[in-house]
Amino acid sequence: MNTLIIIITGILGATLTFFVNEHLKQGAVRASALLSLAVGLFFFWFPDILNNYLTQNIPPAFIGASFIGMVSSKAITHYSWLIIAGILFSIIYLNASHFFNGYGGALGTSAAIALLATLGIPVTLSKRKKITNGILIFRKWIFKKK
């Protein structure tokens, strides 16, 4: 049950930050900071509302997933890709977070890995099998104009 809640947290962190960034026009940094502050303060003020594991892990999982939501709408246009990236981030967070103890930037690195893996899915599923074509498709997709 705890794992499912962390995965849902990852999905919400990515999608809510993207929504506040793009639709409410608050900017990527402000959207991430405001939502992360709200989640952090909630669990600071109400530490006994959930079990100790969730109280300690939901805020960092949300903050890390909010880094995914900071992505430009030029790169990701559908919320389904954000959901996939949020799930991937949560899996990385749950399984590899202990490897990053003592290192700064672990949440951002995990978010970047999840986002790049998600952005690579259309390239790998492309009908063109050559890697150079995949790189060209990926570059056109990233730098396309609205």
Number of domains in the chain: 1
| 115 pLDDT higher than 60 | yes
Alpha carbon distances (Å) from 16 to 10, 22, 125, 130, 132: 10, 10, 27, 36, 35
Mean pLDDT score across all residues of the chain = 86
Q: Measure the CA–CA gap between 45 and 39, rounded to whole angstroms.
A: 10
pLDDT (tens digit, 9 = 90+) per residue, 16-51? Answer: 999 999 999 899 999 999 999 999 999 999 999 999
| Full domain range(s) for residue 6 | 2-142
Give me the mean pLDDT over the 67-82 stretch.
88
| Phi/psi at 24 (5° precision) | -95, 0
Has this prediction a pTM greater than 0.85? no
- Token duo for residue 70: 């900071």
Give me the mean pLDDT over the 110-127 stretch.
83
Indicate if the alpha-carbon torsion angle 3, 39, 59, 65 is positive or negative.
Answer: positive
Query: Which pLDDT score, from 0 to 100, does residue 65 have?
Result: 95
